Amino acid sequence: MPSKTVVNAHYNYTGRKTIRQKPEFFTVKVLERKENTASIQITYDFDEIIKSVNISSDIQCELAVDAYVRNNVTRAILDQNKDILLFKVKNCPEYEKIFFRIKLIANSVNEKGILLAANKSRITISDESNEDDGEKKENAFFELIPDSEMKGQTWRVSWDETDNPKVFVNKKLWEVYSEKRNVLRAFLLPEIIREILTGLFFRQKDLENLPQDVAAHKWITFFQQSLDENLEELSKLDNAEKFEKIDQITQSFSDYNWVSNKTLLDEILER
C-alpha cells in the first residue's frame, strides 16, 4: 500500500469540484490506536465518486486520502480496482484528533498533482470502539485523556477548538494510578476546573449561543446543574469580578459532595 508522510504540506484547492460525504461514495473508520499509531479503514467506490463529480473518463487520475495529525499529513492512494483500504498513521499521539480528506488528483504526465476534486471540509471520525458507547460519548467533555507526550507536565487543557476543550493527563501518571483514579481526581480536578472556567470566560466570545453538542456548552450545563452557577450571566461581569467568581466556583467544586456524598478529598482520606 503506497503511503507517505508530508510535513507542513499545502495544497491548492482553487477550482476543484466537491466529493460529497456520502456512505455510498466512501466511509472512514479509525479501527485502533496504539503506541502512537492509528489503524485506518477506508471503504470506497471509485467509479461512483468519478461519476458524482462529472469528470471525463479520459482524464488520468488517482484517488487519495490524506490523514492530518497536527502539522503532519499521511497520504494513502486508493486502488481504483478495489473498494477497501487499510493503512496506518504513525507519529500520532494517542487521542490526538485525526482529520481526513478524500481527494481526486490528476496523474497524467502534463497535469500530475493537480487537484481535481475533494470533499468540502476535513472529516473527523471517532474511534470505532467508542462509536456505540453513548454514555462515554455524552460525558467525553469531562474525561481525563491520557497523553504519552507530556513529559514532565501532569495535565493540560487543549483549546485548539475553542468550543471543545479537552483535558489531557500525563499517561505515565495515569498508568501509575490506574487503580486509584479517585486520587488523580482529587488532586487534579479542582485546578482543571479553574482552567476550564478561565477559558470559558476569556476565550469564548459568546457563551449564550453555543451549539448544544459542543463540550463548552456541556461544561456550562454542568456548572448550572451541579453548582447552580449561571456562566452565561456571569460572563457579563467585568474581568476582576470574573476572576473572583472563578475562585469561588473552584472552591465550591472542591467542597461539593460528589461520590458517596463526600468531597473528592474526603473520599481518598477516609479509605
pLDDT at 131: 39
Encode pLDDT of 229-256 as tens digits: 999 999 999 999 999 999 999 999 999 8
Encode pLDDT of 124-157 as tens digits: 764 444 333 333 333 445 788 899 888 899 999 9
Q: Are residues 102 and 117 in the same domain?
A: yes
Using a cut of 0.85, tell me whether the model's pTM lies above it. no
- Hey, what long-range contacts does 233-239 have (CB within 8 A, 24 or more apart)? 234/201, 235/200, 235/201, 235/204, 235/207, 235/208
Q: Rounded mean pLDDT of 59-63?
A: 90
Q: Are residues 54 and 97 in the same domain?
A: yes
- Compute the distance between CA of residue 244 and CA of residue 258 in angstroms, rounded to an integer: 24
Range of the domain at 187: 134-269
Q: Are residues 41 and 146 in the same domain?
A: no
Instruction: Report the number of distinct structural domains present in the chain.
Output: 2
Q: Rounded mean pLDDT of 5-24?
A: 58
pLDDT at 271: 61
pLDDT at 41: 93
Give 122-157 as a DSSP string: -EE--BGGGTT-HHHHHTGGGPEEEETT-TT--EEE
pLDDT at 59: 82
Q: Are residues 155 and 115 in the same domain?
A: no
Least confident range of 73-82, 123-132, 220-229 = 123-132
Q: Are residues 45 and 167 in the same domain?
A: no
Winning range, highest mean pLDDT, from 18-22, 38-42, 161-165, 259-263: 38-42
Alpha helices (runs of H) in 122-261, residue ranges in sequence order: 134-138, 171-176, 181-203, 215-227, 231-234, 239-255
Domain CATH for 69: 2.60.40.10
**pLDDT at residue 225 above 80?**
no
| pLDDT-based confidence at residue 72 (cuts at 50, 70, 90) | confident
User: 24 vs 128, which has greater pLDDT?
Assistant: 24
| pLDDT-based confidence at residue 227 (cuts at 50, 70, 90) | confident
Q: Are residues 144 and 259 in the same domain?
A: yes
C-alpha cell at 196: 476550564
Q: Rounded mean pLDDT of 24-44?
A: 89
Q: Are residues 20 and 52 in the same domain?
A: yes
Q: Are residues 173 and 228 in the same domain?
A: yes
| pLDDT-based confidence at residue 209 (cuts at 50, 70, 90) | confident
